[in-house]
Structure 1
Amino acid sequence: MSDSLHVVCPHCHKTNRIARDQLGDSANCGSCHQPLLTGEPVNLDAVSFPKHIGRSQLPVVVDFWAPWCGPCRMMAPAYAQAAQALQTRAQFAKLDTEAHPETAAPFGIRSIPTMAVFREGVELGRISGALPSGEIVRWVESLI
């Protein structure tokens, strides 16, 4: 395993190389100088989605959701808590399937919320339905 890995900035979406042992040391983006690991879900769109799931060597957990979805809104705080708990082990992101249907379509999302974990463009697993924070953390840990 390499001593460094690529992490996509949640602010400017540029790819950064960071030493593994610096993941917990509040590393900043070389381009925009903002923190690389915020512990908060990143809102993705059609342009930033492929950058994050394709380039990040840190696992990326994507919540496919829509604003009108009650279970999606209900799960949002738990998803944010899981993002905080796994801050140095995975990046958490959200993709609004209503605003960006063309981005979600290739993944065959049939129900929302659906979460999927990606590493360097490869889907490691997926689960549908609203989950509490602890179950999200356990599920992600089982895949990474």
Structure 2
Amino acid sequence: EQDISERLTPEQRAFVARGRDYVRQMDELNAAIDDAAVSERITAIQDVVGRILARAEEEPAVIAGLDRLTAYYLPTTVKLLDAYDRLEEEPIQGENISSSRSEIEHTLEVLHSAFEKLFDDTYQDLSLDVSADISVLHAMLAQEGLTEGPFDVRP
């Protein structure tokens, strides 16, 4: 069987590589961030993004719908984590610092949910294909008299 990366176009490989680079940057920032709850959220985000990238390698057609992932969502996530890391290191945690940290913490929850939805969306075409196949199968089974069909009329 062909290596997965050999099936991808150079652009698709670049997309996956960019995504993996952002995950690596998140890993470095996660190691620097002390807050355990924030660290858990980062790990959860990395897991979902990893699944999205694995899905993109497995089914390159989904990459077309993921352009904002590496163009905006992941770089912004990394930027927010970098800001959080810097804020966390400040010796005096005043109102502005505390407020910014809190906003970032909430945004990480929002991002995690959004990335989960994005991952689920990568299965949309497969889901439609499965539904269509099942409908045709049921119709053929009913047509052959192998199941009760929706058009069966009882005397």
Q: Could you state the TM-score of these two structures normalised by the residue count of structure 1? A: 0.28
- Larger gyration radius, structure 1 or structure 2: 2
Q: Identify, as 1 or 2, the structure richer in strand.
A: 1
Q: Could you state the TM-score of these two structures normalised by the residue count of structure 2? A: 0.27
Q: Identify, as 1 or 2, the structure richer in helix.
A: 2
